[in-house]
Structure 1
C-alpha cells in the first residue's frame, strides 16, 4: 500500500490534471520515480515548465505519507492506479483516463459488462419506476449497473440493481464524503455488493466542476449509457455526449412530451440515440443477449458441498466468495481484501487443500469447475 501513497501525492498536486500526470508517468515510469526525480529533469517533459516543476518540489515538503495511509485505513478505502492490472479495462481505453481511483467495497467484478443508467434528479414517478425495473432486469442478466448516487433516477437505478446484482456508484467528491448525505445508507448497501468509487482525493467536497469529471468515469466504465429522464440542460446529457465521444452506445427512454423531464431524452432520440422500449433493445444492440450463458458470465459461482462451506472460517469464506470459475490474478484478489500477501497466500492454500479452488500458472486462482451446483 505504501507505493500507492506516491500516486496519492501525485494526484493532489494543485494544477496537475490527468493529462499532465500521464506525461510525467510516460517519462519517469511510475509515481515513485516522479517523487525521486531532480527538478532539472522535469524540464524535459512537454507541458511541464519551471513553475509546475517548482510545484512538484514544494508538494513533497507538505505531503505526509503516514497520515494519508492512516486516513485510508481508517475509512477502509482502497486505491487502484492506472498501472495496476485490476484497473477497469474499459476505463483505461478512454482518452485521458484517471490515473488513480479511490474505492470502498469490492471491484473484482468491475470488468464484467457494465451499463450506465442516469437521469434527472427531479424525476417523475414514471421515470423512477422505469429506472428501478430496468436496472433490476439488467442486473438479473449479469450486467453491472453504474450511476452517480444522485437523487432521482440515479438513486432508483442503484436500488433496482441491488435487488438482483452488482452496482457501482461514481462520486463527484471524495469517497469519504458521500453526497447527497441522505444517500449514505444506500452507499453502504452498494459497498456490500459493489463499490463506491471516486477519482478525487479524500475530503474533496462535491463542488460543481467535479461532476463533469465524474460523468466521464460513469460513461467510460460502460459499454453504453441509458438516459431515463433529462431536462434540456441536464447533466445526464453531458454523460451521454461523453459516451458518444468515447465510442460507446447511447440509449434513451421515450417520455411524455408535456413533461420537462422528457425534453432531453426525446431530443437524444431525435439525433440518433437508441430508443428503448424493452430490455432486448439494449441487450441486442450491445450483443449481450446471451450474457447469462456460462461461457461469458464471469461470476458464475459453483457451490461445493454445504458442509465444506460451513466449515470454513470467516476469512476463508470471504476469500472463497471472491473467486469465480474464471481465473484471477493474486494481485487482483489482494486488492479486494484487507489482508497482507502472506495471509492471503495461506488462506488460498487452505482452500486449495479443501478441494474448493485451483491455482494456475502465473499465480492465478479460480474455483473448481468440476463441482456440481
Structure 2
C-alpha cells in the first residue's frame, strides 16, 4: 500500500482502508499485518473469512460493504470532517510509529497541528481548584512556548488545559466517541472552539456513543501524538494512570505534578514520581526534557513487512498448523510479548504473526499495547 494523499484522487484508497478497518475482528494491529501481507485492502477483505476459519472461527464474519464505507465517508465530509489514513502525509507522524496506531482517523479542524511538537496534559475529572490552576498555568506556558497541548476533553484537568491553551495557540482533543458525540455533553461548545483553533480527532465512526471500553483506546491516541505526558492529579487505578502506563509503553517522556499526601488525587502523581517520572513544578521542567524538533521518523507505510509476512501455498498453510499447535498453549489471559512467543515456540516471526492474525480474526486473542497479546476470556476457558 503506497502512502495516501487524502483527497478526491485517493478516495478509492481511503474507502478500501476504511472498509477493512470496519470489518469484524480487524483491530489496529491486525490491520497493519494485513496491509503488510496483501497488496490492497480489497484483497485483504477477500481473505478475511478463510483466515478466520483457519484461526478456529465456526461462524460468519461481519464484512463491511463498499456502500457502508461510502456512506461513512460522505457523512464525515458533510459534517466538515476529514479522514486520515495511516501512511498518508497528513497522518500524525508520532502516532504512526505505534504498533497499534489507528488505521483511520476522523478529524475536525486543521490536521497540520498534529505534525507539530505536542505535550499531553491529563488528570482527574474531579480535580481540585489547585490542580485546575496548575493545569491552566502549565498549558498556557507550554502553548506560549510553541507547543501544542493535547488532552481528552474530559471534565476537570482536561477541560482546564484545553481552555487555557486556546488564547495562546492550537490544542488537540482526542475523543472516545464519534465527532458528533461530544463527551461530556457540556463540552460541546469547547469541542467546537478546539476544532476552530486546533484539531479534534477520533478513531470512532460518526454516531458512536462513548463507552468505558473506548477510553483506554482514546488514551493511546493522546499519548501517541505527543512527545510527553504530564499527569496533574490522578487517584489510584484512574484512567490518567492508564495513560501514564501507555506513555511508558510507547517510550514517551513522563511527567507528574506532586501534591499533598493527604489528598488521594495526589497519590497517582506522587507514585509516578517515586517510579521515575520527572517532577514538574512549572513548564520549564517539561521543556528541558523535550526535543526542539520532531525526530526524523522515516517511512510510515506498510511495505516494510510485506516480503516474508505470512505464507503462500498449500504446503505453507499445512506447516502453519504446527505453528498454531505450538502458539496456543503459550497464550493465556495474562498479556505476553509477541517476541516471547516467537522465541519460545521457535518458529519464524512471520509464521507466528500469521497465526496471531488468524486467531484475532477468529475472536480468540486480543492484541494489546506494547506488542503484547492475550487470550480472550472465552477462548481461555476452552484451552
Q: What TM-score does the superposition give when structure 2 sets the normalisation length?
A: 0.70
Is 1:16 the equivalent of 2:26? yes
Q: Which residue of 2 aligns with 1:228?
A: 232
Deviations 1:298-353 (A, max 9, x none): xxxxxxxxxxxxxxxxxxxxxxxxxxxxxxxxxxxxxxxxxxxxxxxxxxxxxxxx
Secondary structure in 1 aligned to 2:112? coil
1:1-373 pair list within 5 angstroms? 1=8, 2-3=11-12, 4-35=14-45, 37=46, 39=47, 43=50, 49=55, 51=57, 54-55=60-61, 58-60=63-65, 63-288=67-292
In structure 2, C-alpha distance between the alignment counterparts of 1:159 and 1:201, rounded to whole Å: 26
Matched residue SS, 2:284? helix
Per-residue Cα deviation, 1:26-65 (whole angstroms, up to 9, x for no partner): 1123424435x4x4x864x699647499526x4338x434
1:76-114 Cα shifts (integer Å, max 9, x gaps): 111001121221111111222111111111111211111
Q: Which moved more, 1:279-288 or 1:240-249?
A: 279-288
CA RMSD in angstroms, aligned pairs only: 2.2
Deviation string, structure 1 residues 213-257 (Cα, Å, up to 9, x no partner): 110111111110000111112100110110011011100011122
Structure number with the bigger relative contact order (C-alpha 8 A, sep ≥ 6) is 2
Aligned residues: 284
Q: What are the Cα deviations for residues 259-284 of structure 1, in whole angstroms up to 9, with x where unaligned?
A: 11111111111111100112211111
Query: CA distance change for structure 1 residues 65 and 258 in 2, over 3 Å: closer, same or farther?
Result: closer
In structure 2, C-alpha distance between the alignment counterparts of 1:89 and 1:69, rounded to whole Å: 23
CA drift of 1:202 comes to 1.6
In structure 1, C-alpha distance between the alignment counterparts of 2:163 and 2:111, rounded to whole Å? 18
1:166 CA drift (Å): 1.1
Is the CA contact 1:216–1:242 (under 8 Å) kept in the aligned structure 2? yes
Contact 1:119 1:152 in 2 (8 A): yes
Give the whole-Å Cα distance in 2 for the aligned partners of 1:280 and 1:245. 24
1:12 is displaced (CA, Å) by 1.8
Deviations 1:168-227 (A, max 9, x none): 000111112111110000000000111110011221111111111110111111110000
| Conservation of the 8 A alpha-carbon contact between 1:42 and 1:53 | no
Once the two structures are superposed, residues 152-177 of structure 1 have per-residue CA deviations (whole angstroms, 9 ceiling, x without a partner) of 00000101111101110001111121
Gaps of 5+ in 1: 289-295, 298-373
Aligned to 2:5: none
Instruction: Measure, in 1, the Cα distance between the counterparts of 2:58 and 2:182.
Output: 32
